[in-house]
Structure 1
Amino acid sequence: MASVWVGTRGTIRDAPGFNASRDAEAIRKAIRGIGTDEKTLIDILTGRSNAQRQLIAKEYRAAAGKDMKDALKGDLSGNLERIMVALVTPPAVFDAKQLKKSMKGTGTDEQALIEILASRTSKQMKEVAQAYYTVYKKSLGDDISSDTSGDFRQALLTLADGRRDEHQRPDEQLAKKDAQILYNAGEKRWGTDEGKFIEVLCFSSFPQLKLTFEEYRNISGKKLEDSIQSETSGSFEDLLLAIVKCANNTPAFFAERLHKSLKGAGTDEFTLNRILASRSEIDLLDIRAEYKKLYGVSLYSAIKSDTSGDYEATLLRICGGDD
């Protein structure tokens, strides 16, 4: 069965001639010696697909009697530890943990919630919700409910439910109808009918939405993004804009997020790690191309000038090449 976490435009693929027990042994040696052999860890973990890393972890556990993840945590620290742990975590569990982290404690990291929920497919979200329940014994929906409110909550819950129609073939009549609904719900009336925005933007397939956006322009003479900005506010506005961006061009959405995490004072390593780890087998090649197109420099060089040491080496290996 093909994994919903593997696409055709990733920088990391299954390594040929893979041998899980040999890799597990090499990792044990790298961790067990005096001082850690980071180079071996980086070579192996960035040179194998996530599915292969899970097999290494299984072999490691059988041989060492403890979790490879715990061994890495005990041996590494800081950003290097975080990216290594991300690499050995199954994708659905990784998303679940990122969602939990964005809701834990005081204050919610809305941007991380938005990034994950706006960009994942319905099939991916179903797996994330399952993983969330397995790990935390609580439903993702319940945690979102108690952590957010209003239209923002409603839209997040709809997305978390994984109800976007992925099989829908773009249908022009439906696009015309939905565009009119959006126009009537926003620009045309006094006060906005947010429910209609949620209905269209959280249920239609991305190709269908693209068609709806074109029709919206024909009807209203403006881009839907502009209407969203003038009709909504706060996190709800951010979420709707993220959905529009993902529907138009998901890799460009991630390129923009990466750029934000790299520019300015101090790097947002959590976002950097999350995107590189979670898109490395899906569309990181396309994200790199969009990054270059949007910012005139390669993602590789941006990472290089913003990070250092073994952490930098790991990210550059995931990035896969300089454009």
Structure 2
Amino acid sequence: MAALGHRGTIREFSGFNPQEDAAKLRKAMKGLGTDEDAIIEVLARRTIAQRQQIKLDYKTAFGRDLISDLKSEISGNFEQVVIGLMMTPVMYDVHELKKSIKGAGTDEGCLIEILASRDNEEIQQIIATYRKEFGKSLEDDICGDTSHMFQRVLVSLATGNRDEGNLVDDEQAEKDAKTLYEAGEKQWGTDEVAFLTILCTRNPTHLRRVFEEYKVISKKDIESSIKGEMSGSLENALLAVVKNMKNQPAYFAERLYKSMKGAGTDDNTLIRVMITRCEVDMLDIKQEFQRMYGKSLYSFIKGDCSGDYKKVLLQLCGGE
């Protein structure tokens, strides 16, 4: 659900010269020691398309793979953010999804974030690329790693088949709101399927009308009802769907805030959101962050991160 117009902080670098950039990167990694600042100067200030061109020119000029060279020179969070920047958006999403599923434990937050926030076309590309990359379907991997109604919500989102029109049927919106009310607040126990069906299939404009109607009927907003009726991963998944439908930049602002507040930083979430949104809607996310938390995203990153990793994130944030 990309924002209309360009609301990113990373824009095409004027006077872009991929051969020159490739040479700078080779020089930064050649010999003893690594010039991390030179790597940041080049890669954190170019667009995805420009970085792909640099990668190609690097191989042409030096007969070496840029990503392999970077991996051998840098490590930790700095490596994670730089290698992430070198991927295309769909490839990055695919690798993040795979990482969230494989190994012990599941990063359910990552699964929810990607599947609840990408549009149909992006989901379809993810499905095709995932199968090509790992020889297995994303749906099979989701089903092998999750269960119950949470699994069903993820599988529904992973079809990439949501209505993406703008039509609002007032009568249907009223009916949907009533169905949600009767499926939750009004009865003992919850009809979770009703929530799944409405929240995962209707278009965003229609859903916003449903949420307004819901508030009139139940005297509560839909988020409060979901929190009261559900728990755990299912609650988180449905809340993410609602928040993305209502105000996507605010959803990502909250993801960023939660990744940094309290003891320890959820580096994976912080890196992923900064990488995936810096060319899409980071300007809007920054605005929402300031509105919601009374502090700039820039100052939060500055106080929470350290080293070269911090320098990259501050660059993606685009200043105060």
Structure 2 partner of 1:230: 228
SS in 2 for 1:188: coil
Structure 1 partner of 2:257: 259
Deviations 1:163-185 (A, max 9, x none): 11222323322211211221222
How far apart, CA to CA, are the structure 2 residues paired with 1:53 and 1:6? 23
Of the three residues 131, 134, 138, the one matched with 2:132 is 134
Of the three residues 264, 268, 271, the one matched with 2:269 is 271
Q: Which stretches of structure 1, 4 residues or longer, exceed 4 Å deviation after superposition? A: 3-7
Deviations 1:195-227 (A, max 9, x none): 111111111122221111001111222111122
How far apart, CA to CA, are the structure 1 residues paired with 2:281 and 2:169? 26
Q: Structure 2 stretches of 5 or more lacking a match? A: none
Whether the 8 Å CA contact 1:292–1:298 is kept in 2: the answer is yes
Matches within 5 A, 1:1-323: 8-322=6-320
Matched residue pairs, number? 320
Whether the 8 Å CA contact 1:5–1:124 is kept in 2: the answer is no
TM-score normalized with structure 1 length: 0.95
Name the CA shift for 1:187/1:259 in 2 (closer, same or farther; >3 Å): same
SS in 2 for 1:35: coil
Whether the 8 Å CA contact 2:290–2:296 is kept in 1: the answer is yes
TM-score normalized with structure 2 length: 0.96
Whether the 8 Å CA contact 1:122–1:163 is kept in 2: the answer is yes
- Cα deviation, residue 258, structure 1: 0.8
Whether the 8 Å CA contact 1:7–1:281 is kept in 2: the answer is no
- Cα deviation, residue 55, structure 1: 1.2
How far apart, CA to CA, are the structure 1 residues paired with 2:291 and 2:64? 45
How far apart, CA to CA, are the structure 1 residues paired with 2:119 and 2:313? 25
CA RMSD of superposed structures (Å): 1.7
Whether the 8 Å CA contact 2:77–2:267 is kept in 1: the answer is yes
- Cα deviation, residue 8, structure 1: 1.6
Percent identity over paired residues: 50
How far apart, CA to CA, are the structure 2 residues paired with 1:275 and 1:203? 25
How far apart, CA to CA, are the structure 1 residues paired with 2:106 and 2:4? 29
- Cα deviation, residue 56, structure 1: 1.0
How far apart, CA to CA, are the structure 2 residues paired with 1:130 and 1:6? 25
How far apart, CA to CA, are the structure 1 residues paired with 2:94 and 2:4? 17
SS in 1 for 2:247: helix
